[in-house]
Amino acid sequence: MGIEVSSVTKRFKDFTALDDVSLNVQQGEFLALLGPSGSGKTTLLRIIAGLEFPNAGRILFQGQDVSDRSVRERHVGFVFQHYALFKHMTVARNIAFGLSVRPARRRPARAEIEKRVDSLLHLVQLGGLGGRYPSQLSGGQRQRVALARALAIEPRVLLLDEPFGALDAKVRKELRRWLRKLHDDMGITTVFVTHDQEEALEIADRVVVMNKGLIEQVGPAQEVYDAPATPFVYDFLGNTNRLPAAVRGGVANVVGLLVPAPDVPDGAGVAFVRPHEFELRPSGAHGGIEGTIAHVFASGPILRIEVNVPAVELAIGLQIEVEAMRQVLDGIILERGARVALAPRNIKVFKKQD
């Protein structure tokens, strides 16, 4: 089912947590809401769920306005980071909970509930563990039970708020891959909140980057990473070098290198280049920023090289970080103090913000 968030504003007293946010989630899509702490991700998810109501704007499910409907009426499944299971109930009863509390006329027969719980236990790969209590499960298993409980009511939408946030990195990685496969099998529209960029990029069809109650960029994961639309997204998504630039007539001077910046107004600018987007060339090579190697760190086949760039005209010393595969650096002396040229393969210039 498709979801439309239309001009949603949410204030907590005089603090604006969401500022006129609009967003479309396609039917069957896996969408990640990504942003730093306090950017409004959870608030947006809770508003979609019907756990929180906006001051302005509307929520539509499949074109139908559900803004005034309760959680139950919206028929959503959700899992939170610490969505505690009922400790005194077995895993099976936890999963059955949403069905067993339905009014009699909508409640499936007991045998039907048991059958559904059984198939959900298999789906989340916990077959045979229905008789256990939550305390007898690992953290990862508990979150899978929480997911099975959310799925038991056959929700139209699945909303997940950092569901693996409390788990260790390895389990977290396994579970997110598993969740993505589960999503692909079931095709249920899913919105996933995370502040972990790697998690968002790996799991989602599209990523929504949020900052201070606003959406900075929406797009396929790879596109958001490769072509950040704003300085914030550049900084937030992955490692990057931030270099001073002076823009005139659509051309930016970035530490002596001239690069096209057609949409940037004259004045101070800021240029971004990711460490792996620099090509290391011998000193004097055309199209490079000249510098001196400060440090070389080897980590397996990848070298991380810190290069000092004097930037004399700016009266500042810059340090640029470069990442390169060891084998492509043949013929370049990689010693501390050696002079090199850094040629950006990809560089993006923005107007400098005050």
Ligand X SMILES: Nc1ncnc2c1ncn2[C@@H]1O[C@H](COP(=O)(O)OP(=O)(O)OP(=O)(O)O)[C@@H](O)[C@H]1O
Asked whether position 211 contacts ligand X by CB under 6 A, the answer is: no
Query: Judged by CB under 6 A, which of 5, 30, 32, 35 binds ligand X?
Result: 35
Query: Judged by CB under 6 A, which of 149, 176, 183, 195 binds ligand X?
Result: 195
Query: Judged by CB under 6 A, which of 23, 41, 92, 274 binds ligand X?
Result: 41
Asked whether position 40 contacts ligand X by CB under 6 A, the answer is: yes
- Minimum Å gap between C-beta 219 and ligand X is 19
Q: What is the DSSP letter of 140?
A: H
- Distance in angstroms (rounded) separating the CA atoms of residues 252 and 75: 52
- Minimum Å gap between C-beta 177 and ligand X is 22
- Minimum Å gap between C-beta 217 and ligand X is 16
Cα angle 127, 132, 134; round to 5:
110
Judged by CB under 6 A, which stretch of 10-18, 184-192, 234-242, 282-290 contacts ligand X? 10-18
Asked whether position 172 contacts ligand X by CB under 6 A, the answer is: no
- Distance in angstroms (rounded) separating the CA atoms of residues 342 and 345: 9
Asked whether position 12 contacts ligand X by CB under 6 A, the answer is: yes
Taking the mean position of all CA atoms in its chain, how far away is CA 96? Answer: 31
Give the count of residues interacting with ligand X (CB under 6 A): 12
- Minimum Å gap between C-beta 68 and ligand X is 20
Asked whether position 163 contacts ligand X by CB under 6 A, the answer is: no
Query: Judged by CB under 6 A, which of 28, 38, 57, 238 binds ligand X?
Result: 38
Asked whether position 232 contacts ligand X by CB under 6 A, the answer is: no
* Residue with smaller CB distance to ligand X, 214 or 294: 214
- Phi first, then psi: give them for residue 6, nearest 5 degrees: -120, 110
* Residue with smaller CB distance to ligand X, 52 or 205: 52
- Strand pairing report for 30-34 and 278-282: unpaired
- Phi first, then psi: give them for residue 215, nearest 5 degrees: -90, 125
- Phi first, then psi: give them for residue 97, nearest 5 degrees: -50, -55
- Minimum Å gap between C-beta 162 and ligand X is 7
From residue 279 to residue 298, the character string flagging contacts with ligand X as x (rule: CB under 6 A) and all else as - is --------------------
Query: Judged by CB under 6 A, which of 43, 141, 190, 211 binds ligand X?
Result: 43
Asked whether position 17 contacts ligand X by CB under 6 A, the answer is: yes
Q: DSSP E strands: which ranges in 81-183?
A: 157-161
Q: Residues in the site for ligand X, rule: CB under 6 A?
A: 12, 15, 17, 35, 37-43, 195
